[in-house]
Structure 1
């Protein structure tokens, strides 16, 4: 069921386990296309909603599904609070990523049917960066972007299934993705014609977060500019 303003919508899961909620931000003018914002391990929190709002200001219908709904619906955590950070790690370890990808596909289907928006992209951060890669390989999304995705080196066998454009932003000083892993990503993906990788020197995981201590303004601005140009080219061009 679709809403007519910013807020929550309900999306039916593909396995009929139940509906789940998603935050939706709508553009004031005509919709260019839609972009799914894939959460970090902290849930659909203020920072993720702010990502949606910024995309809506650019003319996109932005939708952030609550991918942790099977664990704890509506979870919102602050990465700068240690207790909440530890809880986020627990949720990440318990999270069924395969089910999450199916929920992302359900979100794509919802957008195309209920919102009547044909072109759908996806952008994800942290865990969402990994899921953005999986989304590119396993769904019919039109274009995807992943920021500092974790464990992508273990998914390189899926690269041949990537049929639509994918961009990955890599933090060179990422505490969760070491230099050897980054090298494996480049070795495995640099020759994949649909994939583009960008490295950001001197920055750590989470550099493009909207709020909090992890943000690096210069790197975030550059990555977001590249993302904006990427979606303009592949979703509206």
Structure 2
């Protein structure tokens, strides 16, 4: 679908204590104006930055209505951090002060909002990275999503039964050299995934945390990234066949 027109949309979704910023990318579909499926993207601890916008473009290029909510809208609305070491302390501070329960509620509101968009046929999947990977699993466990994709989810040891709640087709991508998750947490996720036929756990040899982010040069793994997105699109096509 390269070469077709893309449109970037910035909007807000009102909530009780403020408003959630939404970044959307829409690309002309082969089917014209006919509604189609959507994918919500949940960002890392660096906000909806240039790397996350690239992933929106990837999803829109595959024909999906792609939307990323600003999960830090209560703390630092619109924040977009780079991977410069000088900006990392702010990212960590945002993460440490983050309210997971509120975020999961926000994601459900965003899902309902996107599903009601006239360009969406009601089918919505979710993909998340790092912090967003955790939130994708937690929000996916509440139902409503057609598919769940989670990259290197952090802090899942705080939610030991999270994978048991998933009945939606799910894929988890993890590197076996992820120092931010750790071997004990990875082992727990593997065991939990083995108990749930809806969850496909994929471990990438030698891959580190953030292996799918080409802007994080020390961690990026091109082979693992390509393999993971092949699996993602296979899952999306199967779960939201058009």
TM range (shorter): over 0.9
Return the structure number with greater helix share: 1
- Note the residue ranges of structure 1 that are not aligned, 5 or more in a row: none
Q: Which moved more, 1:161-170 or 1:206-215?
A: 206-215
2:96 paired residue among 90, 93, 105: 93
Going from structure 1 to structure 2, the CA distance change for 1:143 and 1:87 (only over 3 Å counts) comes to same
Superposed displacement of residue 56, structure 1: 0.4
Going from structure 1 to structure 2, the CA distance change for 1:200 and 1:110 (only over 3 Å counts) comes to same
Aligned residue in 2 for 1:149: 153
- Note the residue ranges of structure 2 that are not aligned, 5 or more in a row: 1-5
Q: Which moved more, 1:29-38 or 1:57-66?
A: 29-38
1:229 paired residue among 206, 228, 234: 234
Aligned residue in 1 for 2:183: 179
Superposed displacement of residue 139, structure 1: 4.1
Establish whether residue 170 from structure 1 lines up as the match of residue 174 from structure 2: yes
Superposed displacement of residue 7, structure 1: 2.1
TM-score under structure 2 normalisation?
0.91
TM-score under structure 1 normalisation?
0.92
1:217 paired residue among 208, 218, 222: 222
State the secondary structure of the residue aligned to 2:161: helix
State the secondary structure of the residue aligned to 2:201: strand
The 5-angstrom pairing of residues 75-154 of structure 1 reads 75-79=79-83, 81-117=84-120, 118-154=122-158
- Partners of 1:208 and 1:20 lie apart in 2 by 26
Superposed displacement of residue 11, structure 1: 1.2
User: Is the Cα–Cα contact under 8 Å of residues 50 and 210 in structure 1 kept in the other structure?
Assistant: no
State the secondary structure of the residue aligned to 2:58: helix
User: Is the Cα–Cα contact under 8 Å of residues 12 and 106 in structure 1 kept in the other structure?
Assistant: no
What is the count of residue pairs matched by the alignment? 231
State the secondary structure of the residue aligned to 2:203: strand
Superposed displacement of residue 43, structure 1: 0.1
User: Is the Cα–Cα contact under 8 Å of residues 36 and 119 in structure 2 kept in the other structure?
Assistant: no
Return the structure number with greater strand share: 2
Superposed displacement of residue 112, structure 1: 1.4
